Amino acid sequence: MPKLSLLGLNHTTAPLEVREKLAFNAQQQSAALAQFRQKFTSSEMILISTCNRVEMYAATDAQGEPGIRQMIEFLAEFHDVPSSTFADHIYQKADREVVEHLFSVASSLDSMVLGETQILGQVRQAYESARAAQLAGPVLHPLFQRAISVGKQVMHQTPLAEGRVSVASVAVEYARNIFEHFGDKTVLAIGAGKMSELVLQGYVSLGAGKLLVCNRTADKAQELAAQFKGQSVAFEKLAEHLVAADIVVSSTGAAHPIITRTMFDGLLRQRRYRPIFLIDIAVPRDIEPAVGEIENVYLYNLDDLQEVVSRTQAQRKDAVAAARAIINAQLEDYLASQRQRELGPAIQQLYTRYHQIAQEELARTLNKLPNVSEAERAHLEDLARRIVNKLLHDPIQVLRRTDEMHLPASQYLHALEKLFQLDALSSDQNDSAPPTLPPDSEDGQAP
């Protein structure tokens, strides 16, 4: 029976310095999935890596691999960092908790920014990558499908996404603390990804005077700049653009800082010591933390935005409660469907076996009663069917409620197979047509 497990760390458990060491960019993610598949051939794995979290969802194989220890080792080996550097920051979950956590993640309830929709896309992307690597199997495939569906439901049916606070809006709120007017300000976006687009949108709505987009790939920069009537500028002349900029938003996928203290020190005089607001939302970070120590330089990274976000989260308790209600309902429904999937064949076998016995005994009795009319025969057949259904009703109900009683369905399933010798029946039936469940009876005791 496969077991679900999760190993992860996020913005609440690990500081940015730790998260950036374990983050996977797109290429690394593909490589990691390939390595995992090579190492654990019959396990499933989906890897979510965003600015705020790194999470490995695994469905273990018959040998129970990978265990949590193996997952930790995998992470450490892949990134070539000692496991001691992040061991204190990780969390691990199993089975039901994994499902609940994933639903919360997909619904943005576990995000730094409540109601943000990006995470749903990131969960979907992680699932697609795993599917492409043939690592999303019968356990993780339905789980992630359901998680994506839950995320959508929460976004559409709760006020969580309405007036949501995104990283972009938080960045704009912070900028208002430094600048009063934006018409004479220059905003520089480094990186032309979705995040840059969102932030630029925020500053355009504030009436920013000039927008510059700087990206290694010039085409992308031009495309984004055109969208906001801005100007694309050469990445190689980044220092020059920093002199002109009042607000800088950096979100590249660079592995090392692209703005260093030494570089910035040399720009201060040219900037005439004007205040500058630097927002580093890249993981790993694009701007050396030491830059933030310079006079009139205000540097914020992802973790720094937590303050504003936590304030808005406190104000949105109703929306969170509505989202939680959906998640809980979906969680129960999903677990019930999973139990049904696990127990369904066994229950079907049980009904088939006992209805067969009843039919055999009925036939034997009818043979001894030669004058039974068709109507009486039908009554007797109905009697036999109802006795079997009533006898099986209670044990089947208990089986279906195993999760409510915090008991693993597999234990009951194993006992069921042994007590009623379903193993033998199963092997007999493998050669014949699949059994069908008895139709709903009027006394409502069909499975």
Partner 1 sequence: MPDVPGTGQLVLLYAAAGIFTLALLFSLLRFFNAEKTSLRTTAKVCIYLGILMGIAVITWRALNRHSWLPLDDNFDALIWLGLLLALFLTYMQRAHPLGGLDLFLLPIVVLVLVLAGIFGRTKPRAYLETTWSLTHLIAAFGGVVAFAVAAAGGVMYLVKSQQLRRKKMLSGQGLGSLERIEHLTFVSVSLGFALLTVGLVTGLVRAIDTHGHNSLGPDWYRNPKVLLAFIAWIVYALVLHSPINPSFRGRRAAILSVVGFVLMIGTVVAVQYMPSH
Report if residue 180 touches partner 1, rule: CB under 8 A: yes
Kindly tell me which residue out of 68, 81, 178, 218 binds partner 1, with binding defined by CB under 8 A. 178
Shortest Å, Cβ 307 to partner 1:
6
Pick the piece of the chain touching partner 1 (CB under 8 A) from 24-32, 270-278, 318-326, 356-364: 270-278
Quote the DSSP letter at residue 259.
B
CB half-sphere exposure, 209, CA atoms < 13 A: 12
Q: Which stretch binds partner 1 (CB under 8 A): 39-47, 60-68, 273-281, 353-361?
A: 273-281
| 311 belongs to the binding site for partner 1 (CB under 8 A) | yes
296 lies in the site for partner 1, by CB under 8 A: yes
121/275 with CB nearer partner 1 = 275
By CB under 8 A, how many residues form the interface with partner 1? 20
Residues 6+ apart with CB under 8 A from 293: 261
DSSP secondary-structure letter at 216?
S
Question: Does position 294 bind partner 1 by CB under 8 A?
Answer: no
Q: Is 317 in the site for partner 1 (CB under 8 A)?
A: no
Residue 332 one-letter amino acid: E
Which C-beta is closer to partner 1: that of 35 or that of 296? Answer: 296
Residue 253's contacts (CB-CB under 8 Å, 6 or more residues apart) are 25, 191, 193, 282
Spot the catalytic one: 18, 32, 51, 98: 51
**Minimum distance between the CB of residue 316 and partner 1, rounded to whole angstroms?**
15
For residue 28, the one-letter residue type is: Q
With CB under 8 A as the contact rule, which of the stretches 71-79, 202-210, 234-242, 303-311 interacts with partner 1?
303-311
If one asks whether residue 177 binds partner 1 (CB under 8 A), the answer comes out as: yes
* C-beta of residue 230 within 8 angstroms of C-beta of residue 213: yes
Interface pick for partner 1 out of 78, 179, 235, 420 (rule CB under 8 A) = 179
Residue (of 164, 237, 155, 230) closest to 196 by Cα position: 230
Candidates 78, 228, 298, 420: give the one binding partner 1 (CB under 8 A). Answer: 298
Query: Taking the complex as a whole, how short is the minimal distance between the CB of residue 297 and partner 1, in angstroms?
Result: 10
Helices (H), 289-316: 306-314
Nearer to partner 1, 104 or 186 (CB): 186
User: Strand locations in 121-245, DSSP E?
Assistant: 186-190, 210-215, 231-234
Asked if 414 and 422 count as a contact pair (C-beta separation under 8 A), the reply is no
Residue 274 binds partner 1 (CB under 8 A): yes
Q: Is 176 in the site for partner 1 (CB under 8 A)?
A: yes
Number of residues written out for the chain: 447
**Cα separation, 248 vs 431, whole angstroms:** 69
> 17-56: which residues touch partner 1 (CB under 8 A)?
none
Rounded to an integer, what distance in angstroms lies between the CA atom of residue 250 and that of residue 259? Answer: 9
Q: Does 295 bind partner 1 (CB under 8 A)?
A: yes
Over the window 357 to 386, marking each residue x when it contacts partner 1 by CB under 8 A and - when it does not, the resulting string is ------------------------------
Closer residue to partner 1 in complex, CB, 157/315 = 315
The answer to the question of residue 427 lying near partner 1 (CB under 8 A) is no
d(CA 179, CA 358): 84
CA dihedral 81, 83, 89, 91 (to 10 degrees): 120
Least distance to partner 1, CB of residue 267, Å: 13
Tell me if residue 214 is catalytic: no
Structure tokens belonging to residue 238: 């980044």
Look at residues 83, 87, 9 and name the one whose alpha carbon lies nearest to residue 52.
Answer: 9
Beta-bridge partner residues of 197: none
Q: Nearest-CA neighbor of 37 among 136, 152, 176?
A: 136
Between CA 131 and CA 265 the distance in angstroms is 47
Q: Is 307 in the site for partner 1 (CB under 8 A)?
A: yes
Return the number of the residue (37 or 274) whose C-beta is nearest partner 1: 274
DSSP 84-99: GGTGGG-EEEETHHHH
Read off the amino acid at residue 126.
A
* Residue with smaller CB distance to partner 1, 272 or 364: 272
For partner 1, which stretch binds (CB under 8 A), given 179-187, 280-288, 386-394, 395-403? 179-187
Binding site for partner 1 (CB under 8 A): 174, 176-181, 272-275, 292, 295-296, 298, 300, 304, 307-308, 311
Q: Report, as residue numbers or ranges, the catalytic residues.
A: 51
